[in-house]
Chain A
Amino acid sequence: MAETVLSISHLTKRFGDQAILEDLSLEVREGEVVVIVGSSGCGKSTFLRCINALEDIQGGEIRLRGELIQSDRKNLPELRQKIGMVFQSYELFPHLTVLDNILLAPVRTQKRSRQDAREEALALLDRVGLKEKADSWPRQLSGGQKQRVAIVRALIMHPEILLFDEVTAALDPEMVREVLEVIVNLAEQGKTMIIVTHEMPFARAVADRIILLDDQRILEESDPETFFTDPKTDQAKKFLQTFEFSRKTKQRLKSPKGEFP
């Protein structure tokens, strides 16, 4: 059994009186890919933000290899270096070139030599097919390219775990694939990841474990095959049906006559 990387126990998050997450526990082992699904507004993104201490939590604890993650901790920057996060809106720094975006953290926080970090950055860019974009500015890139750069920016820190927050949600459909392929590759290399996504085929392909978040807690937790073919709870069935429906609707819209019931 692989070692536990991240352990979350009894996590509670509220905004004022409104509970977002209630008594949520989760363990992620080394090399595991956990995919979190759920309807919009169910707290998936908030959950990821809690892991990176971008949100205060009102109860429970989060530990990375046994170390407590808390927003008022002195060593928070060091801990965050071990957690890679990729945002839906990429969040590249517009005033820095692609290469400088990637080098900012390793050079400033890990005190690595620029030369050494640069070599690794170029190698990583090469792996995601963007080597020639190293000296470009973020605004010269397409959404898919920006997101791949954002992934490289997280990877160069050699994080213990990677968090992906709906990284394809803001992309044009034709760019989704190039980003998902990068993530699938990372999974094959054995990287530990938590992925929040709405792309069900991708979830099925990449996940070791799928978690359905609803009603402030984990409603269903199973391997992808079971989740997609034999969901246990009614909510999971209903959730999967929404995707069925949208696929059927799409087909109907695509049909030549364009008939719609």
Chain B
Amino acid sequence: MLLEKEIVIKTDKLTKRFGDFTAVSEISFEVYKGEIFGFLGANGAGKTTAMKMLIGISIPTSGNATIAGFDIYIQTEQIKKSIGYMSQKFSLYEDLTIKENIQLFGGIYGLSDKEIKSKSEELINKLGLNNEADKLVASLPLGWKQKLAFSIAIFHQPKIVFLDEPTGGVDPITRRQFWDMIYEAAHNGITVFVTTHYMDEAEYCDRVSIMVDGVIQALDSPANLKSKYNAESMDEVFLMLARGAKRGE
């Protein structure tokens, strides 16, 4: 059944070294179209470094990878058109209004004025921000900012969206709403590649990989992982694997 699925991310022994330090060591995995792929690991395990190679802002030391069919060494510009990214740090412009942020990123990704206009109205309606649309982003509560950042990351309908700890510091209700948005995006055919520290979120993923010290220790669906490690929850699975880590924060 897996064979029928379209592969959108494929890595082969992807490695990143900083001097003597191997941040990411020969990771190989595949991600399929429309799935929610959880990329787990303790702090310092190499998640963010790996993700930066995939989104084309860090050049790998060795190994290969293709994103949406494009090579990460030579086709970075094509990759950038087909992905969306939401970083750990909140990265919309706080001194621009919600509307201006949407227009800016819509424009950067080459949407026409008409598309930007209709889609941003639709988006603002959906998020229930009609009254805030002309207010500065700085005035929004964190939960809203994160939802907005996610919406903007998928505004141009990318093939894949990369989310780096998108729900850090967000309350449980907003987190739940956030995951509803992720499901909806996946349902619309956008592949979601997400890193998180919350193990309940790991349960929502179709498949998860667990990284320990720069290496992928486990990769399967949450149900399979739990039965394999004879664990009640993903939390237990994670603790079992991550306890062996040598690298701290």
The answer to whether A and B assemble together is no
Interface residues in chain A, defined as those with a beta carbon under 8 Å from any beta carbon in chain B: none
Interface residues in chain B, defined as those with a beta carbon under 8 Å from any beta carbon in chain A: none
